Amino acid sequence: MFGTILLLAVTLMHVYVFWRISSVPFLRRHVSRRFLVITGVFFWGVFFFGRFFGHGGTGEFTRTLELISMDWMAVIFLTTVSLLAIDLITGFGLLLPKLSPSLRGFALIAGGMLSLIAVVQGMRPPVVQEYEVRLFGLPREMNGTVLVAISDLHIGTLLDKHWLDARVAQVRAEHPDIVVLLGDIFEGHGEPQKELLQVLHGLSAPLGVWAVLGNHEFHGRDTTGTPLMNIDVVRVLNNSWAEARSGLVLAGVDDLTANHRSGLGGDPIAKALKGRPVGATILLSHTPWQAEKAAAAGANLMLSGHTHGGQIWPFGYLVQRVYPLLEGRYDVDGMTVIVCRGTGTWGPRMRLWRPAEILRVTLHAEEK
């Protein structure tokens, strides 16, 4: 269903963009309509074959094809946004009939410039975003505990061992007491290369490396088959809790969107928090849903990912309609929620005004 919707959306964007291109005066004089049609069909074909045949494939050719197709999807999106802005301002040419075609030319330039900026920002290493959080019930001797969180790596065909080596080095450089993986660590289509699993073995922290499953961990497999289960240094919390140390509880839920789509029902958050000992509680949930329920159950801090912060502006405005807690820090009924924009990228290796990030959260004891 997702693939069908994506294909329909990209097809409509191609039709719209190349229709509007044909009205730009300079291009109308120098480029034939036939050539524009052939060009549009060619790039649509690049997207189609890259997304539906290159995705999850192996080898340099399929990797390159997927990268080009995904980046082109972002380019056509940003060009659509730029052209649509001009069309809305000019009433689709009715308000400024003589000027509108030329303005569409400037919109094409704007779309190209935004795409270039997005490529540069998408290739940059993640920033380290620092937070200070006070937790009621945290033992005083744990004051200053450093938690480092990464989310949405989507390692696989487009993000390789070299990139992952650098991310593990970034995490280790923060000297964390706890490391948490907030889901979608692997792209999920096909098994990841063994060398990627070996790199993740380089993660370590005195109070452990913990993880929860994201929606991509459910792609094509049950949860027992996820590669995360094969990494000795990582402990996965499946709707359960554990004490990282006396007085500090980590609880984790399997991805709530996957739970919703599969129709499993139940109450994963209540299950994950049930019967935990007294102390500060940090809930790990890939998707930032049901924060009110977590706060009512007594969680002190909720860490999530999944949204990518929209990844490419202005797509975040649509994402926020489904995920109101889009990125950054929130207070929900006295519980702190921090949503990571993602450490990697999904689809295009592009980001626009939404840089990738690694969370560094310093925990402080607090008494009520």
pLDDT at 1 over 80: no
CA–CA dist 308, 182 (Å, integer):
12
* pLDDT for the residue 260: 67
* Structural domains of the chain ordered from first start: 2-123 (no CATH), 127-366 (3.60.21)
Residue type, 9: A
CA angle 2, 49, 262 (to 5 degrees): 20
pLDDT at 259 over 80: no
pLDDT at 223 over 60: no
Reported as a pLDDT band with limits 50, 70 and 90, residue 264 is low
Angle between helices 2-21 and 100-123 (to 10 degrees): 130
Q: Are 359 and 340 in contact (CB under 8 A)?
A: yes
pLDDT at 172 over 80: yes
CA–CA dist 35, 16 (Å, integer):
16
Alpha helices for 90-211 (secondary structure H): 100-123, 161-173, 194-200
Q: What is the pLDDT of residues 27-54, one digit of tens each?
A: 999 999 999 999 999 999 999 998 877 7
Residue 294 pairs with which residues in a beta bridge? none
Place of tokens 């620092």: 130
Q: Count the neighbouring beta carbons within 10 Å of the beta carbon of residue 2.
A: 6
The residues, any chain, with a CB within 8 Å of residue 169's CB and separated by 6 or more, are none
CA–CA dist 299, 228 (Å, integer):
25
Write b or e for each residue in 171-207: b if 16 or more Cβ atoms lie within 10 A of its Cβ, otherwise e. Answer: beebebbbbbbbbbbbbbeebbeeebbebbeebebeb
Q: Percentage helix, strand, coil, to 5, in the chain? A: 45, 20, 35
pLDDT at 6 over 70: yes
Report, as an integer, the average pLDDT of 87-92.
96
CB hemisphere CA count around 304 (13 angstroms) = 32
pLDDT at 20 over 60: yes
Report, as an integer, the average pLDDT of 142-159.
93
CA–CA dist 250, 205 (Å, integer):
14
Reported as a pLDDT band with limits 50, 70 and 90, residue 158 is confident
Report, as an integer, the average pLDDT of 62-74.
92
CA–CA dist 24, 26 (Å, integer):
6
Report, as an integer, the average pLDDT of 273-287.
97
pLDDT at 107 over 60: yes
Share of the chain above pLDDT 90, in %: 81
Report, as an integer, the average pLDDT of 312-326.
97
Q: What is the pLDDT of residues 231-243, one digit of tens each?
A: 889 999 999 999 9
pLDDT at 281 over 60: yes
CA–CA dist 310, 191 (Å, integer):
27
Share of the chain above pLDDT 70, in %: 94
Q: CB-based burial of residue 252 (10 Å sphere; 0-12 exposed, 13-18 middle, 19+ buried)?
A: buried
* pLDDT for the residue 38: 97
Reported as a pLDDT band with limits 50, 70 and 90, residue 323 is very high
